[in-house]
Chain A
């Protein structure tokens, strides 16, 4: 079964510093990986995805993620954190269930707090 793990429940970073939110995955076959962000009382918003190609994927709001096949990781990064980046971040992997049915399997989430 496909799965992702987010080893940190919470990450604290000072405003202006670089941030990293970690994700590791376990899949059979080629991984399709995603990052979503969730603000309080809001739905999940898509940030970026990795399908194939360059290992460094750029997404919304200045975020990027680095795919590392040997370490089975897909860490989310941003060079300079903003207070407004404070939110819940979810890593996800696409799971194929047969008959053309795809769904996303999510990690437990990491709460990012950017300290002014």
Chain B
């Protein structure tokens, strides 16, 4: 396993179009996260899955955003009716079940999917 994979790496779209990003986490990781990062800012949390269940969604995730993780493996993040303000890097991360030694999870990030909305 080579880590967290994200596809596509770059997406340019016109305002109003729908886009979908895919994330393949590390195979033994049951936790999956989506973050958004804009220029000059740190990553902002969007949503979290534990296995196939979506346990948390940020207020940043408007109703135009939807994320799924069928069968608890890969995940998709769809943005409908894109707006210029959606232009950002969308980062996916995964982590194993709770670290029994330290009690804290280390997130492993993918390289990200950069979205440009014209």
Q: List A contacts of B55 (CB < 8 A).
A: 97, 99-101
B interface: dominant SS: loop
A interface: dominant SS: strand
B50 at the binding interface (Cβ < 8 Å): yes
Q: List A contacts of B93 (CB < 8 A).
A: 43-44
A34 at the binding interface (Cβ < 8 Å): yes
A106 touches B42 (CB 8 A): yes
Q: List B contacts of A92 (CB < 8 A).
A: 42
Min distance, Cβ A68 to any Cβ of chain B, angstroms:
19
B42 touches A90 (CB 8 A): yes
- In the bound assembly, the distance between CA atoms of A3 and B102 in angstroms comes to 21
Interface centre among B43, B45, B98 (most CB of A within 10 A): B43
CB contact between A44 and one of B40, B43, B103, B104 (< 8 Å): that residue:
B43
In this complex, what residue of B is CB-closest to A6?
Answer: B42
Bitwise interface map of A from 40 to 57 toward B, beta carbon under 8 Å scored 1, else 0: 011111100101000000
Known A43-B4, A44-B91, A99-B55; judge A32-B104 contact (CB<8 A): yes
The interface size of chain A toward B, counting residues with CB under 8 Å, comes to 26
- In the bound assembly, the distance between CA atoms of A100 and B103 in angstroms comes to 12
CB contact between B43 and one of A41, A101, A102, A106 (< 8 Å): that residue:
A106
A105 at the binding interface (Cβ < 8 Å): yes
In this complex, what residue of B is CB-closest to A43?
Answer: B109
Task: List B93-118 residues whose CB lies under 8 Å from chain A.
Answer: 93, 98, 102-112
| Chain A to chain B: the 9 pairs with minimum beta-carbon distance, closest first | A106-B42, A43-B109, A44-B109, A43-B111, A32-B104, A51-B102, A101-B55, A101-B56, A103-B45
